[in-house]
């Protein structure tokens, strides 16, 4: 047995990946670069400052995404935000810590210059504010080459403004889909994009903000991989509202701050001049309309939705458990969507004509269920996502 033990352990040692064996060899004389940046318990102190360079919205080094349907002015709104940061101006009556902003326009090309200059003049900012525009291609998926190039660009900007003591606060990548460089909006390719965005953030301490599109069903959030919402620190949805206030940007997720703030705005066309073919060149600027309170619905539930509410409340009361539906959310009581669906079928809430022969819901019945869930969500009775339905604490 004694002669077999060394052979057995040697076999196990040979199975250890070479990188781990190299780490073991360095263990006797580790350097700081060989270790994680840990802090021991006795040295920990309270972090009383959130580092929010846009008060209550964006924090230093965060990963953020602004998304919405086409033609809602996403880029105009983000440009307006970026110019306020670069100019150190209050934004929606919120404090701003001035910083360099680098806007990488992967869509719009040179016409983005018109948007930036028109917005800067509308805000009445000086021409020499620390705002930089890059109209180029950017591949944040296939390799880390462009992520390193972006990191070097940020470091060059840091050096440029060292004497003025102005840090680089934010890099905007517009849009997320273009930064995928032809990749699919699935877990694998978007995971690589996030990996390279993290490389930039951790190497520079700069916030990275993506501009993205929503899918066909805006209620499902950012287009593509569902895990993107869990990965980001800040999520802002832009949607059309009504004629009096056409657009509203809503903070739908904050990892370290309070979410729910809503910023209203309109888009105002402005004339820039005439082209060589004597055609008027125009663009749009954002006119902020102040923060908007979330409307309280005074509409009563229909009889069908009230019946649905009673079933849902009973099912969660009987079979609910403590869950965290999405990263960054508090613990709530809820059930899985599949469990709720099966219980509703057993209770006969869905008409027989809405069920297939194997007892599963048809597509039309999914729509009926989603409409009922949305009705309860508007009344702040429940919350729901792709995987769970939960009670909203009073």
- SS3 of 54-86: the string is ECCCEECCCEEEEEECCCCCHHHHHHHHHHHHH
Tokens of 113: 């210059």
73/119 Cα distance (integer angstroms): 13
Place of tokens 């890099």: 171
255-273 mean pLDDT:
91
Average pLDDT over all residues of the chain: 86
270/172 Cα distance (integer angstroms): 24
224-246 mean pLDDT:
87
- Rounded to 5°, the CA angle 242-248-249 comes to 165
- Of 390, 387, 265, the closest CA to residue 330 belongs to 390
279 pLDDT band (50/70/90 cuts)? very high
pLDDT for the residue 294: 72
pLDDT for the residue 1: 46
5 pLDDT band (50/70/90 cuts)? low
Place of tokens 């070097």: 152
pTM: 0.70
- Rounded to 5°, the CA angle 23-28-34 comes to 45
- C-beta of residue 361 within 8 angstroms of C-beta of residue 369: yes
43/233 Cα distance (integer angstroms): 26
pLDDT for the residue 119: 97
By the 10 Å C-beta count (0-12 exposed, 13-18 middle, 19+ buried), 328 is classed as middle
pLDDT for the residue 48: 80
Place of tokens 């508007």: 378
More confident residue, 220 or 182: 182
Looking at residue 186, the DSSP 8-state letter turns out to be S
202-216 mean pLDDT:
91
Given a cut of 60, whether residue 26 has pLDDT beyond it is no
Q: Highest mean pLDDT: which of 39-53, 187-201, 361-375?
A: 187-201
231 phi, psi to nearest 5 deg: -80, -30
Q: Highest mean pLDDT: which of 16-30, 87-101, 103-117, 292-306?
A: 87-101
pLDDT for the residue 103: 97
107 pLDDT band (50/70/90 cuts)? confident
pLDDT for the residue 242: 77
Helix intervals (H) in 88-142? 111-123
- Rounded to 5°, the CA angle 80-84-87 comes to 135
Given a cut of 70, whether residue 247 has pLDDT beyond it is yes
Which value, to the nearest 10 degrees, does the dihedral of the CA atoms of residues 235, 240, 244, 249 take? Answer: 10
68/240 Cα distance (integer angstroms): 9
């Amino acid at each position: 047995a004694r002669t077999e033990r060394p052979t057995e352990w040697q076999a196990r040692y040979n199975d250890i990946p070479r990188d781990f064996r190299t780490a073991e060899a360095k263990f006797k004389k580790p350097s700081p670069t060989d270790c994680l940046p840990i802090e021991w318990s006795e040295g920990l102190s309270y972090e009383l400052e959130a580092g929010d360079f846009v008060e209550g919205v964006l924090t230093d080094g965060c990963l953020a995404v602004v998304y919405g349907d086409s033609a809602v002015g996403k880029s105009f709104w983000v440009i307006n935000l970026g110019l306020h940061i670069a100019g150190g101006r209050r934004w929606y009556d919120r404090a701003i810590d001035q910083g360099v902003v680098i806007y990488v326009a992967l869509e719009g090309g040179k016409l983005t210059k018109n948007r930036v200059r028109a917005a800067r003049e509308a805000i009445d900012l000086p021409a020499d504010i620390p705002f930089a525009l890059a109209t180029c291609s950017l591949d944040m998926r296939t390799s880390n080459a462009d992520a390193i190039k972006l990191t070097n660009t940020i470091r060059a900007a840091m050096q440029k403004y060292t004497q003025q003591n102005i840090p680089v606060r934010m890099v905007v990548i517009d849009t997320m889909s273009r930064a995928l460089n032809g990749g699919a909006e699935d877990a694998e390719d978007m995971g690589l994009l996030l990996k390279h965005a993290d490389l930039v953030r951790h190497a520079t301490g700069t916030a990275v903000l993506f501009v993205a599109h929503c899918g066909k069903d805006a209620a499902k959030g950012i287009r593509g991989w569902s895990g993107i919402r869990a990965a980001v620190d800040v999520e802002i949805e832009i949607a059309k509202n009504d004629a009096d206030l056409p657009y509203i940007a809503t903070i739908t997720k904050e990892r370290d701050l309070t979410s729910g703030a809503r910023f209203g705005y309109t888009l105002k066309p402005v004339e820039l001049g005439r082209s060589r073919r004597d055609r008027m060149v125009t663009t749009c600027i954002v006119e902020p309309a102040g923060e908007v309170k979330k409307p309280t619905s005074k509409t009563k539930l229909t009889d069908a939705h009230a019946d649905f509410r009673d079933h849902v409340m009973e099912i969660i009361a009987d079979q609910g458990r403590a869950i965290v539906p999405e990263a960054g959310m508090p613990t709530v009581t809820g059930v899985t969507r599949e469990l709720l669906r099966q219980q509703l079928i057993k209770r006969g809430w869905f008409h027989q004509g809405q069920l297939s022969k194997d007892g599963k819901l048809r597509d039309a019945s999914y729509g009926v269920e989603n409409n009922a869930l949305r009705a309860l969500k508007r009344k702040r009775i429940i919350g729901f996502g792709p995987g769970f339905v939960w009670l909203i604490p009073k």
